[in-house]
Amino acid sequence: MSGYNRQNIVDSVPQKGFFGHPKGLFTLFFTEFWERFSYYGMRAILVFYMYYEVSKGGLGLDQHTALAIMSIYGSLVYMSGIIGGWLADRIFGTSKAVFYGGILIMFGHIALAIPGNLTLFFISMVLIVLGTGLLKPNVSSVVGEIYSETDARRDAGFSIFYMGINLGGFLAPLIVGEVGMKHNFHLGFAIAAVGMFAGLIMFVVTKKKNLGLAGTIVPNPLAPEEKKKVYTWIGLGVVILAILIAIAIPAGILTFDSFIALIGILGFLIPTIYFVTMYRSPKTTDVERSRILAYIPLFIAAVMFWSIQEQGATILANYADTRTQLHFAGFDISPAWFQSLNPLFIIIFAPVFAWLWVKLGNRQPSVPKKFSLGLLFAGLSFLVILLPAYFGGTDSLVNPLWLVLSYFIVVIGELLISPVGLSATTKLAPAAFTAQMMSLWMLSNAAAQALNAQLVKFYTPETEMTYFGVIGGASIVLGILLLFVSPKIHKFMKGVN
């Protein structure tokens, strides 16, 4: 760390100034607010843009294809975090990664805002995938840097930060969804680009005063003799990949189905490689190795949870569009608006959970127990949504309040897993792999959505009850198992609560 340790970084950050938290939380809160506004605004209309007919302003893709692309896209967004984490840890630090990522995301949304063909659509997806991989894991890592490891405000700070994420996520579908669905998809994407631009301005203007050294120190920099070798391998890898793609597509080897299968394998293979690499690294201490082992069951639980939660933008989005009564209580409801329910409930209840953890202090449930409860709620949210089909069949339109209830229940699980997981990741991370450990946390979402790309193929109106029942039941069973083994996991965490 170039002569700096974690406490030096904490000391450089003004520790009072944002709801009793470090002043840097203000910068990170609003940077992530605008980045999430742009991302969730785009995501609220993206699946509809893909499968709506060309005459309605869409791309005219098959619904199952659109749902699979949405899942693969989501998986790649989080999978790219390993690139962003490595670049931050080894080359330019988390602060620059956040800035560069924001630039790429903004240009990706600008590309979506330009009426064009499928090629331009995929170019925009590549830009957003790479940009989010740089920004998303690293902005969360900077939040971890502004608190000391023993600071009791840490979990509450992540909950406040998480509320900022979801404030942007709440407003975006209402604004971008209204414009995109009722007027023009491309104008909606343009609003998302403006949101990312606002986030970049917020970050650049306030970071020097509020963040101190946080984000500026490269924790595990490349040695001068390593740089040439690494850059050569990166360049060679890009060339080889381009050649393989150029050969595989015309030959019919790289098809849409084979690409989905490949991402599914990578979604689980890459995290496995990460765990092994960090565990075997000579830079990892014995205590850190024990904490890595404790992190494995938490990671598996997170994959199960995100598999359910992320279907709010695929299966449940399609459910809102095709299975839900959208004229309700005298109002015409946009199917994109349901994307605001998850962040709305988080905004309401995140402060309650933040207060609860501070109030309980050392008496609060351990991290594994919070995760197990989160899985139980996630499973219940899917069991609830199968009830309308059980009572009324799959041919009639469903009261939208069933969707509202499902989103509400999964949010309770999310508040038990997501902010807690972010905080636990920063506390369990080996010192030499801080940003990359956060990338590993993001890979739990990547693995989940890679899995979802396979699962969405089994969803039809006829299989609706079985689909929700099997996945929801699996989450509940895994949650119960995790609850039983949580004391053993807690021992391996070596003092982290």
Write down the domain spans for the chain: 10-220+252-492
CB 22 within 8 A of CB 14: yes
pLDDT value of position 435: 67
Contacts of 69 (CB under 8 A, 6+ apart): 50, 61
pLDDT at 113: 92
Phi first, then psi, for residue 495 (nearest 5°) are 95, -10
Is 284 within 8 Å of 292 (Cβ atoms)?
yes
Q: What is the pLDDT of residue 384?
A: 95
pLDDT of residue 485: 94
State the Cα–Cα distance between residues 415 and 436, nearest whole angstrom.
Answer: 23
Nearest 5°: the CA angle 345, 359, 159 is 40
The confidence score (pLDDT) of residue 477 equals 97
Q: Tokens 């969707």 sit at which residue?
A: 403
**Alpha-carbon distance 307 to 446, whole Å?**
9
pLDDT score at 179: 93
Each residue's pLDDT, cut to its tens digit, for the chain (497 residues) gives: 455 667 777 777 777 777 778 888 888 999 999 999 999 999 999 999 998 888 888 888 888 888 999 999 899 988 888 788 888 888 888 889 999 999 999 999 999 999 877 888 989 999 999 999 899 878 888 888 888 777 778 777 877 887 888 889 999 999 998 899 888 899 999 999 999 999 999 999 988 888 877 778 887 788 887 888 888 888 898 899 889 888 988 888 888 788 888 888 998 998 999 899 999 999 889 889 999 999 999 999 999 999 999 999 899 999 999 899 988 878 888 899 999 999 899 888 888 887 888 888 888 888 999 999 999 999 999 999 989 888 877 778 899 999 999 999 999 999 999 888 988 888 888 888 876 787 788 889 999 999 999 999 899 878 889 999 999 999 999 999 999 999 999 889 887 77
193, amino acid identity: A
Q: What is the pLDDT of residue 3?
A: 53
Residues 6 or more apart whose CB falls under 8 angstroms from that of 443 comprise 78, 79, 81, 82, 267, 270, 271, 274, 299
**What span, in angstroms and rounded, lies between the C-alpha atoms of 343 and 164?**
10
What amino acid occupies position 292? I
Task: Give the CATH number of domain 10-220+252-492; options: 2.60.40.1080, 1.20.1250.20, 1.10.3720.10, 3.40.50.360.
Answer: 1.20.1250.20
* Calpha distance 112→57 (Å, rounded): 12
- So what's the pLDDT on residue 369? 93
How do strand 331-332 and strand 327-328 relate by DSSP bridges?
antiparallel
The pLDDT value recorded for residue 377 is: 97
- pLDDT, residue 382, reads 96
If you search the block for the tokens 């699996």, which residue do you land on?
A: 474
